[in-house]
Amino acid sequence: MAERCAVIGVGQTHHKAKREDVSIAGLVREAAKMALTDADLTWSDIDAVVIGKAPDMFEGNMMPEIYLAPALGAVGKPMFRVHTAGSVGGSTALVAAHLITSGIHKRVLTVAYEKQSDSDAMWALSVPQPFAAPLLAGAGGYFAPHIRAYMRRSGAPDHIGRMVAVKDRKNAMRNPYAHLHLADIDMKMVEDSMMLWDPLRYLEACPSSDGAAAMVLASEDAVSGHYPPAWVHGMAMRSEPTMFAGRDQINPQAGRDCSADVYAQAGVTDPRKQFDCAEVYVPFSWYEPMWLENLGFCDLGDGWKLTESGATAFDGDIPWNASGGVLSSNPIGASGMLRFLEVAMQVRGQAGEHQLDGAKLALGQAYGGGSQFFAMWVVGSERP
Amino acid sequence: MSAAGGIIRPVSIASFAQSQNVRKDDEHNEAESLLPVIAEVFGNIGITKDDVDFICSGSTDYLIGGPFSFVMALDAVGVWPPRAESHVEMDGAWALYEAWVLLQEGEIDAALVYSFGRSSLGDLNEILTLQLDPYYEAPLWPDIVSLSALQARALIDSGKATEADFAAVASRSRRDALNNPKAQVRKDVAPEVLLRDDYVVAPLRRHALPPITDGAAAIVLAAGDKAQQWSDRPVWITGFDHRIETHSLGARDLTVSPSTVKAAEMAGVGSANVDIAEIHAPFAHQELIVKEALGLDDSVVINPSGGSLAANPLMSAGLIRIGEAASRIRAGQADRAVAHATSGPCLQQNLVCVLEGA
């Protein structure tokens, strides 16, 4: 990277099933103002705005950067809109970060959101298209067969998915912004919940949330704010085709390549040992063990053993999704950015009740499409 | 470094290709319509997808009427093994900007940019209404032609232009398009004749409206040694910026384009003579507004390709302006050119790219 980039401000909304108290503009502005306050800056200090969200049909507002420009203080500035499916929150942060590392801007505001209650994502994902196989049952229907394939391949026992569902919801009890606060969550409660897409039960799936996330990114000479900066140590994106017989959708090559790239930039050779924590896009419980393997935190086939051992729990040696993760809050377009934002909060020491002691280096990951789009960054408390 | 006339890494428009622009292509899906364009943009300079380090595309889901139209379109490139790739829900000109930003860092030297859209699939005039404020404006269903007519009326009322000026722009554009085999509307009709057209929405007569176009376009960007290897006459991007205005039409003076003025200033348009300009003005009167905002005098050749009045493939029309301007420089017809792209109702968002021959 030509110039260093730091996260100097973070903000997020209280994620809920329905944020009927705010418009879309009000939602994104809430997160953005919080990030500016954290960075000790005002709207006029920002050089450019980069916004991301998942398909526009989720709200019925086409190319919403056009409508949101004034709400985000972008009038007279460059405003940019990213859309890379579920990974978009991560990709958006990366596009914003490159405006800093390329030396073009000093301070960039990046925002991602979804207001799922304005529409119905399941419907929007399931519109029949000419010449394309229909996705009739939303994302869960697409991913459930991959989960079954993972279970068969790895020999993982049934209860692993339920463990992840319980762990992430317990973590969410420490996060005041999380959508789901299920105080009584336990294995039995998950097991008793309705079967949605075999083997995924209702409580093993992410909620539908309204919410937004925002970060202020800055060059080294523009660092400000109430907490020390989170320095970007590496960033990468990778994509692979949806329909290709040579793909392994259980352990996608694009995910392996993306992590290899970002680890090389950050000097990471042993992710489990070197990272203090990770925020990884786990919208369905079983994606924790699957991504543990894909991201090289363990050998192939051992992801479920890591989860079962408690290593990824809040008090484990490599906590995953201490914030509660996507399983506890899923404003789709923002879900990837929340992963990137949460690891920045950890290395800045501002995560409050879900702060992990001594977090210095962390991985944020987002994925999207048919497990084919990946965005990752590594942030650390030390300047690279 | 900065795009504001500071030190920028020279990046070249190494290759440009576009599809035949047509009123309706119902024989190909998005990937199929892109395939020959991608093949041509690589074939022009004898490279393959393995020679580019980054891919970025621009499109909008609302044309196909389903989510993720960019996902299957990626099959036109064939991203296996996996590639570094990104997508903007914007005109391809902004995808080009994202790729240019990455190339500024000096770690990669080549990128593929493409955009596509079949405007014919739905009712474009209604679809574009969905770009408006979803609470206060869109529910009233003001269509894009009516909003553009408001802008044209304001321009006439300001005394800066007349309906005859709009007809002159349309006449020149479609006549120039006779030399552009890719254009959709190509004819030599005098302005006096065009003024006999009926109004679609006064004061806009049929000739002042863009055609509805299906099309796709692609550009290869190159820096460093590759820029020299892939072209005898590299066309360099020497300034690049984009700006947005507020959304509420009532809060804007629609007769001027302050975001274009600012982007032009940041891109350094006025620092030297401009030979040609490719302006993305879907409606005839918008060319006059953008021309003034860019600070161009009457010596500048405007839209020799015919512009978007001759072919207006949504999401590609801006990228095509950059490709067309670069082609003129490569052909030796110009040394310095300005390309412009726009987005949103009544020129709300504007991008300016300055190109120079070696």
Query: How far is Cα B37 from Cα B287, in angstroms, rounded to an integer?
Result: 28
Q: What is residue A1's predicted lDDT score, i.e. its pLDDT?
A: 47
Residue A119 sits at the chain B interface (C-beta within 8 Å): no
Sort out which chain B residues have CB atoms less than 8 A from A78's CB and list them: 241-244
**Of residues A230, A233, A276, the one with CA closest to residue A378:** A233
| Whether B73 contacts B116, CB under 8 Å | yes
Domain B142-211+236-357, CATH homologous superfamily name and number: Thiolase/Chalcone synthase (3.40.47.10)
User: Distances in Å between the alpha carbon of B37 and those of A127, B16, B17, B44, B77?
Assistant: 28, 9, 6, 10, 10
Mean pLDDT of chain A: 95
Q: What is residue A243's predicted lDDT score, i.e. its pLDDT?
A: 84
* DSSP-derived 3-state class of residue B266: helix
Contact A104 B2 (CB under 8 A): yes
**Of residues B334, B351, B342, B264, the one with CA closest to residue B299:** B334
| Whether A72 contacts A51, CB under 8 Å | yes
Residue spans of the domains in chain B: they are 11-123+212-229, 142-211+236-357
Residue B240 sits at the chain A interface (C-beta within 8 Å): no
Residue B17 sits at the chain A interface (C-beta within 8 Å): no
CB atoms within 10 A of CB A199: 17
CB pairs under 8 A between A and B: 193
Q: Give the distance between the most distant pair of CA atoms in chain B.
A: 58
pLDDT bracket for residue B5 (50, 70, 90) = very low
The CA distance from A374 to the nearest CA of chain B, in Å, is 9
A6 sits in which H/E element: strand A5-12
Alpha-helix residue ranges (DSSP H) falling in chain A? 24-38, 65-68, 88-101, 121-125, 138-154, 159-172, 187-192, 253-266, 271-274, 287-294, 303-309, 325-328, 332-348
Per-residue pLDDT reduced to its tens digit, B247-264: 999 999 999 999 999 999
Q: What is residue A141's predicted lDDT score, i.e. its pLDDT?
A: 87
| pLDDT > 70: percent of chain B | 98
Query: How far is Cα A275 from Cα B59, in angstroms, rounded to an integer?
Result: 37
Contact B134 A55 (CB under 8 A): no
Sort out which chain A residues have CB atoms less than 8 A from B75's CB and list them: 241-243
**Which residues, 6+ apart, have CB-to-CB distance to A295 below 8 Å?**
A255, A259, A271, A278, A280, A363, A365
Q: What is residue A138's predicted lDDT score, i.e. its pLDDT?
A: 76
Sort out which chain B residues have CB atoms less than 8 A from A102's CB and list them: 1, 101-102, 104-105
pLDDT bracket for residue A145 (50, 70, 90) = very high
Residue B53 sits at the chain A interface (C-beta within 8 Å): no
- Average pLDDT for B85-105: 97
> Which of B79, B107, B349 is facing A79, going by the closest CB pair?
B349
Residue A355 sits at the chain B interface (C-beta within 8 Å): no
pLDDT bracket for residue A134 (50, 70, 90) = low
**Of residues B35, B36, B42, B34, the one with CA closest to residue B16:** B42
Please report the residues numbered 255 through 274 in chain A whose beta carbons come closer than 8 angstroms to any beta carbon of chain B. 257-258
CB atoms within 10 A of CB A244: 13
**Of residues A86, A109, A96, A139, the one with CA closest to residue A333:** A86
Nearest CA in chain B to A236: B84
Query: How far is Cα B289 from Cα B283, in angstroms, rounded to an integer?
Result: 11
| Whether A244 contacts A302, CB under 8 Å | no
Q: What is residue B170's predicted lDDT score, i.e. its pLDDT?
A: 98
Alpha-helix residue ranges (DSSP H) falling in A69-192? 88-101, 121-125, 138-154, 159-172, 187-192
Q: What is residue A133's predicted lDDT score, i.e. its pLDDT?
A: 67
| Whether A79 contacts A67, CB under 8 Å | no
Q: Which two tokens stand for residue B14?
A: 């190494």
Please report the residues numbered 306 through 345 in chain B whose beta carbons come closer than 8 angstroms to any beta carbon of chain A. 343-345
Query: How far is Cα B13 from Cα B355, in angstroms, rounded to an integer?
Result: 9
* DSSP-derived 3-state class of residue B205: strand
What does residue A95 show for φ and ψ, rounded to 5 degrees? -60, -40
> Which of A95, A101, A132 is facing B86, going by the closest CB pair?
A95
pLDDT bracket for residue B99 (50, 70, 90) = very high
Please report the residues numbered 220 through 239 in chain A whose beta carbons come closer than 8 angstroms to any beta carbon of chain B. 236-239
A69 pLDDT above the threshold of 60: yes
Mean pLDDT of chain B: 96
Q: Is the dihedral of CA A121, A123, A129, A132 positive or negative?
A: positive
pLDDT bracket for residue A43 (50, 70, 90) = very high
Based on its alpha-carbon atoms, the radius of gyration of chain B, rounded to whole angstroms, reads 19
Sort out which chain A residues have CB atoms less than 8 A from B85's CB and list them: 237-239, 373
Q: What is residue A132's predicted lDDT score, i.e. its pLDDT?
A: 66
* Stated pTM of the model: 0.97
Residue A28 sits at the chain B interface (C-beta within 8 Å): no
| Whether B241 contacts B352, CB under 8 Å | yes
- Average pLDDT for B86-92: 98
Sort out which chain A residues have CB atoms less than 8 A from B134's CB and list them: 24, 59-61, 67, 118
B271 pLDDT above the threshold of 60: yes
Query: How far is Cα A327 from Cα A325, in angstroms, rounded to an integer?
Result: 5
Residue A241 sits at the chain B interface (C-beta within 8 Å): yes
> How many Cα neighbours within 13 Å face the side chain of A112?
35
Query: How far is Cα A93 from Cα A125, in angstroms, rounded to an integer?
Result: 24
pLDDT bracket for residue A137 (50, 70, 90) = low
CATH number of the domain at B11-123+212-229, out of 3.30.70.980, 3.40.47.10, 3.30.390.30, 3.40.50.2300?
A: 3.40.47.10
A136 pLDDT above the threshold of 70: no
Query: How far is Cα B338 from Cα B325, in angstroms, rounded to an integer?
Result: 7
Q: Which two tokens stand for residue A327?
A: 């399983």
Contact B243 A254 (CB under 8 A): no
**Of residues B317, B296, B299, the one with CA closest to residue B307:** B317
The CA distance from B176 to the nearest CA of chain A, in Å, is 32
Residue B86 sits at the chain A interface (C-beta within 8 Å): yes
Contact B105 A1 (CB under 8 A): yes
User: Distances in Å between the alpha carbon of A376 and those of A266, A285, A341?
Assistant: 12, 20, 12
Q: Give the distance between the most distant pair of CA atoms in chain A.
A: 57
Q: Check if B11-123+212-229 and B142-211+236-357 are the same fold.
A: yes
Q: Indicate the residue type of B204.
A: L
Residue A78 sits at the chain B interface (C-beta within 8 Å): yes
Q: What is residue A182's predicted lDDT score, i.e. its pLDDT?
A: 98
Mutate to test the interface with B, among A1, A61, A67, A116 (most CBs of B within 10 A): A67
Mutate to test the interface with A, among B7, B49, B68, B74 (most CBs of A within 10 A): B68
**Of residues A68, A73, A79, the one with CA closest to residue A105:** A79
Q: Which two tokens stand for residue A290?
A: 């699957």
| pLDDT > 90: percent of chain A | 91
**Of residues A295, A290, A252, A304, the one with CA closest to residue A271:** A295
Contact A63 B247 (CB under 8 A): no
Burial class (CB in 10 A: 0-12, 13-18, 19+), B26: exposed
Strands B276-278, B301-302: parallel, antiparallel or unpaired by DSSP?
A: parallel
A2 pLDDT above the threshold of 90: no
Query: How far is Cα A174 from Cα B128, in angstroms, rounded to an integer?
Result: 43
Query: How far is Cα A190 from Cα A200, in angstroms, rounded to an integer?
Result: 10
Q: Indicate the residue type of A382.
A: E
Nearest CA in chain A to B26: A130
Contact A67 B134 (CB under 8 A): yes
Q: What is residue B2's predicted lDDT score, i.e. its pLDDT?
A: 42
ipTM surpassing 0.95: yes
Q: What is residue B4's predicted lDDT score, i.e. its pLDDT?
A: 40
Contact B248 A242 (CB under 8 A): no
Q: What is residue A244's predicted lDDT score, i.e. its pLDDT?
A: 87
Strand partners, A238: A374
Burial class (CB in 10 A: 0-12, 13-18, 19+), A170: middle
* DSSP-derived 3-state class of residue B276: strand
Strand partners, A71: none
The CA distance from A302 to the nearest CA of chain B, in Å, is 25
pLDDT bracket for residue A242 (50, 70, 90) = confident
Q: What is residue B121's predicted lDDT score, i.e. its pLDDT?
A: 92
| pLDDT > 90: percent of chain B | 94
Please report the residues numbered 120 through 149 in chain B whose beta carbons come closer than 8 angstroms to any beta carbon of chain A. 127-128, 130-135, 138
Q: What is residue A376's predicted lDDT score, i.e. its pLDDT?
A: 98
| Whether A82 contacts B57, CB under 8 Å | no
pLDDT bracket for residue B68 (50, 70, 90) = confident
A12 pLDDT above the threshold of 90: yes
Residue B33 sits at the chain A interface (C-beta within 8 Å): no
- Average pLDDT for B219-228: 97
Contact A238 B70 (CB under 8 A): no
Per-residue pLDDT reduced to its tens digit, A257-311: 999 999 999 999 999 999 999 999 999 999 999 999 999 999 999 999 999 999 9
Q: What is residue A59's predicted lDDT score, i.e. its pLDDT?
A: 92
User: Distances in Å between the alpha carbon of B58 and those of B87, B116, B192, B193?
Assistant: 6, 7, 38, 37
Q: Which two tokens stand for residue B33?
A: 């319509």
Query: How far is Cα A361 from Cα A346, in angstroms, rounded to an integer?
Result: 9
Per-residue pLDDT reduced to its tens digit, A153-212: 999 999 999 999 999 999 999 999 999 999 999 999 999 999 999 999 999 999 999 999
Query: How far is Cα B195 from Cα A345, in angstroms, rounded to an integer?
Result: 63
A65 pLDDT above the threshold of 50: yes
Nearest CA in chain B to A258: B84
Higher-confidence residue of B159 and A369: namely B159
Query: How far is Cα A89 from Cα A114, in angstroms, rounded to an integer?
Result: 10
| Whether A111 contacts A214, CB under 8 Å | yes
A373 pLDDT above the threshold of 50: yes
A228 pLDDT above the threshold of 90: yes
* Preceding peptide of A252 cis, ω within 30°: no
**What structural domains does chain A harbor?**
5-118+208-222 (3.40.47.10)
- Average pLDDT for B206-211: 98
- Average pLDDT for B138-146: 96
Alpha-carbon dihedral angle through residues B158, B159, B163, B169, given to the nearest 10 degrees: -90
The CA distance from B105 to the nearest CA of chain A, in Å, is 5
Sort out which chain A residues have CB atoms less than 8 A from B130's CB and list them: 56, 60-62
**Which residues, 6+ apart, have CB-to-CB distance to B73 below 8 Å?**
B30, B31, B34, B57, B59, B116
Per-residue pLDDT reduced to its tens digit, B290-322: 999 999 999 999 999 999 999 999 999 999 999
